[in-house]
Amino acid sequence: MILVIDDDYSITASLGLLLKQAGYSSLMASTPKDALTHLENGEVRLVLQDMNFSRQTTGEEGLELLAQIRAARPDVPVILITAWGSISLAVAGMRAGASDFITKPWSNEQVLQSIGTALGLAGTSGAAPPNITRAELESQYDLSGVVGEDPTFLSALELLLRVASTDASVLITGDTGTGKEVVADAIHRNSARWKGPFAKVNLGGIPPGLFESEMFGHVRGAFTDANQDRSGWFADAQGGTLLLDEIGDLDLSCQVKLLRVLQERKFQRLGTNRSNPVDVRIVSATNVDLNQAIQEGAFREDLLYRINLISVRLPSLQERASDVPALARHFLGTAATHHKRESSRLTDAAAKWLQTRVWPGNVRQLQHLVERTLLLSRSTELGVEEFRRTLHQDSGEDPVDQLPSVGSMTMDEIERAMILKSLQHHQRNISRAAESLGMSRASLYRRLEKYGISS
């Protein structure tokens, strides 16, 4: 049962007919009082709510009603209805707990997709099983290409895979090189869109002047040097998944254009007046703190709410150091096959040595080192000395120096990495870790809070 709340009869009638044709039953309310009465019906699974119920257009009534709905039925997702010119109201509503928003005028496809996504997410809610194992995930999902068994990593992965079957927009955050693209690919493979394309675009590498052409396409003659038609990334990803990588680096003027397309679910190729529907699942990735970027005026808050119905941070390699041996062997196997060196193997001593190192470049840095060592080594067995020689040749690093290269990490990053390493070594025993770091338990707790490390 879907509850539609709007004081305009034409809107409630129109939405009621749409929902009926889509197989949903519905209830209508024209006032907040009627809405709360209907909400007592335990069969209500979702609310479509307008933000104004009188001549006032401030949205205060809508926000007040949203708060009442969230208090009475926190399990019921609420989708807000607002005008494009009142996006700030939708943002305020999202802060207050709404699950999504649509703008007037809307398309029927947009409404139904938003409803389907919200209901799908509600069906996947709940905490991950405690201490979930790799084997348990593999029994439910396709994890090919995804390496790791660390509990922190598996917890993040489980949530992403749990919502993969929905069309919810996903935001993957984490340091550079943590494997965001690999995880995005896993989301696509485990979604209903797995037969469609998985397209990847680096938004940080697109000049603002070429953004519309790259993303939405153009026809020949649309502008100077447009010598042939271009489909654009949204068209290339139709029916599948589009990874918007490095979205935190997107220019503000381009953010507005992207938001409009994601909101209206349609785009136009440059040089045409015909609108094309967007049938794409959006996954975004960034190493930028978007909340801080919003405070600094570098990122739009309304765009953030459009791309992060689900947001997950991938742990750094230092936080999942137990996965280093498995990752190194995986990368060695892949590189050995590619370079026809199938007989190569990694020694146990080398695996343990790699696990003790600091990885400011995370998984990507480990992959690069393993492949470089394979290519430079004359032996089929890669041991500690082979890796040390590669490091020395690549950056002049002292073969016995295990500190990161100069300029690769700040003091805060080094301190955080050493704290994580000490916690892992002492199996998260705070007293022993603090002693080994030469600080008190209180000092260590303050640093755990500073660096966002769970104790």
pLDDT tens, position by position, 124-180: 665 556 678 899 999 999 999 899 999 999 999 998 998 898 888 999 999 888 999
SS3 94: helix
Indicate the pTM of the whole model: 0.78
Q: For residues 202 and 86, what is the distance between their CA atoms, to the nearest angstrom?
A: 30
Structure tokens at 135: 């084997």
- For domain 2-123, which architecture applies? 3-Layer(aba) Sandwich (3.40)
Q: Note the CATH number of domain 411-450.
A: 1.10.10
What does residue 62 show for φ and ψ, rounded to 5 degrees? -65, -40
Reported as a single tens digit per residue, the pLDDT across 58-92 is: 677 888 888 998 888 888 889 888 875 567 777 88
Closest CA to 180 of 283, 258, 324: 283
| CATH topology match: 2-123 vs 134-313 | yes
Residue 277 vs residues 100, 231, 266, 269, 274: alpha-carbon distances, Å: 19, 14, 4, 11, 10
List, for residues 231-246, the tens digit of each pLDDT value: 889 999 999 999 999 9
Q: Taking Cα atoms as reference points, which of 318, 352, 325, 327 lies closest to residue 420?
A: 318
d(CA 243, CA 351): 32
Which CATH topology does 134-313 take?
Rossmann fold (3.40.50)
The pairing of strands 100-104 and 241-245 is unpaired
> For the residues 358-382, what does the mean pLDDT come to?
89
Give the tens place of pLDDT for each residue, 244-288. Answer: 999 999 999 999 999 988 888 888 888 888 888 889 999 999 998
Query: What fold is seen in the domain 321-395?
Result: Helicase, Ruva Protein; domain 3 (1.10.8)
pLDDT at 301 over 70: yes
Q: What is the CA radius of gyration of the chain?
A: 25
> Domain spans of the chain?
2-123, 134-313, 321-395, 411-450
pLDDT band at 396 (very low <50, low <70, confident <90, very high): low
Cα separation, 345 vs 162, whole angstroms: 35
pLDDT, average across residues 86-104: 81
Q: What span, in angstroms and rounded, lies between the C-alpha atoms of 175 and 320?
A: 13
Quick check: 28 and 12 in contact, CB under 8 A?
yes
Rounded mean pLDDT, 316-344: 90
Answer whether 210's CB lies under 8 Å from 222's CB.
no
User: Quick one: pLDDT at residue 187?
Assistant: 95
